[in-house]
Structure 1
């Protein structure tokens, strides 16, 4: 029997994918071509909205996963591969702890998060988010605490989503699951389920991993044209 999808979560994930791809196209054009684009303001929030949506949706989806710990190991493993590759090619601003690291850790601890009372979970998530300004004000001479949001002097990264505050955003997704989706049903009494949307949502990790190389290949191929 085919497992029934919660269609609005698939749509949210696909929206996040679309925003991510658009932002990275703009970012790569600005970084690797003569096109000058202001990445603050509107474009900053396009990228940030994609990331935040991924975090919340991942938190919600952790409630449906039969093996969240295994899934977390896979996602974290891919994050470490990205760390290694970017360290080789972009050593000055390589991905030390990016969104895949954050989501991987979130999935690893999600079984514990789901055991918490939902209101305690909400309070803890808000506290973690609130601590953002405090941890960002601390600078150390070590990188040991970079995953927590406490940076070292001169820190730079092209993709940085530390546990404070972003684990709190993931936890909000877990809270939403515990309040609204614990029965495994859509919040709507109608369905807009679509095969393409469902397939795209299911391939989100693969799309994340391959979209940047494809964008860069197209840009560099175009630049090589006579």
Structure 2
């Protein structure tokens, strides 16, 4: 049965985007605090924090697929689609350029915005298929990632697919495999609501609360919110540290900087997870041997570098 297109905003869909943005802001603020050494949370390496980040990314990409159904299920509105694509692509380019100068080798080569641009284009044919097929394909992409494992193609040219054995060291890396999967799952779920005339349930209350309206507002301006929230949060933490309002542990910052550089060099040839464990072990062992300060003050000293290399090799074999 063909459904009449809904008019007006579906406020609960906007609220969902707003909530996803809130969780992302919480993660980024925690990352900023850790980066400046205000807290000792291992936001980059802890399994719990990693899972939190993955759930956030998955929710965003799910909502990308769901939103495609809301906007184009009754017929692709090409002008609107390309306008949105160009905006997100320009934003993705801006993120890449900015992070190149800020984080250098860890700059964003293919982050969540890049993934949204490519996934949105690849997902268009799935707007015309049955939701069962979209759901199966979405689950299949995710399972494919786990089935293939870490090693597939040893070429960096395929980093955007996720089909490479050389892990990317980046502050934001969201390749199509497995992250195209949540987009297709969002399309499948959106199609279910569309087919059975359930989308109207997303209109919510006729008199939404102030909190709901607030989340919905940010959800309607999700791209701008995404681009602005991290620079603002990063700036707030930087200002707090510079003004002395927030105290930092310089030692934690030095350890984190060493471990990040170590992982970046190691992961060119070794699995990133193994590298992280070996680099944490190396920094701890260097401290135990009393040569950590020597490494910080004389990083180019041949004897100190030789000791660090020997310690790293021992940690890598553990």
TM-score, normalized by length of structure 2?
0.64
Identify if the C-alpha distance between structure 1 residues 134 and 90 changes in structure 2 by more than 3 Å, giving closer, same or farther: farther
In structure 2, how many angstroms separate the alpha carbons of the residues matched to 1:82 and 1:190? Answer: 34
Match of 2:58 among 44, 52, 56: 52
The range that moved more, 38-47 or 103-112, is 38-47
Larger deviation: 16-25 or 92-101? 92-101
Are 2:243 and 1:225 equivalent residues in the alignment?
A: yes
Structure 2 CA distance for partners of 1:42 and 1:152, relative to 1, 3 Å: closer
Post-superposition CA distance 1:141-180 (Å, at most 9, x none) = 5321111112353531111111111101101001111111
Distance 1:144 1:95 in 2: 15
SS at match of 1:131: helix
Alpha-carbon displacement from aligned partner over 1:92-126 (angstroms, at most 9, x marks no partner): 21111111111111222332120223222222111
Q: Aligned in 2, Cα 1:17/1:57: closer, same or farther, shift over 3 Å?
A: same
Structure 1 runs of 4+ aligned residues shifted over 4 Å read: none
In structure 2, the CA distance between the partners of 1:84 and 1:139, relative to structure 1 (3 Å rule), is farther
Tell me by how many angstroms 1:41 deviates.
Answer: 4.1
Q: How many residues align?
A: 225
Cross-structure match for 1:187: 201
Q: CA deviation at 1:7?
A: 2.5
State which of 41, 64, 69 in structure 2 corresponds to 1:37: 41
Q: Deviations over 1:188-214 (max 9, x none)?
A: 695264432321111111010011111
1:165 to 163, 178, 191: 178
Root-mean-square deviation (CA), in Å? Answer: 2.4
Give me the whole-angstrom Cα distance separating, in 2, the residues matched to 1:33 and 1:84. 25
210, 219, 222: which one aligns with 2:228: 210
Distance 1:177 1:221 in 2: 43
Alpha-carbon shift at residue 58 of structure 1 (Å) = 1.3
- The answer to whether the Cα contact below 8 Å between 1:73 and 1:108 also exists between their aligned partners in 2 is no
Residues 154/178 of structure 1: CA separation in 2 closer, same or farther (3 Å cut): closer
Using the alignment, how far apart are the partners of 1:206 and 1:135 within structure 2? Answer: 36
**1:175 is matched with which residue?**
188
**TM-score, normalised relative to structure 1:** 0.88
1:28 aligns with 2:42: no
User: Which consecutive unaligned segments of at least 5 residues does structure 2 have?
Assistant: 1-5, 72-76, 245-318
- Paired residues of 1:68 and 1:108 also in contact (CA < 8 A): no
**Which of these residues, 103, 123, 126, is aligned with residue 136 of structure 2?**
123
Provide structure 1 residue ranges, at least 5 long, that are not aligned to the other structure.
Answer: none
Question: Structure 1 residues 204, 84: closer, same or farther in 2, change over 3 A?
Answer: same
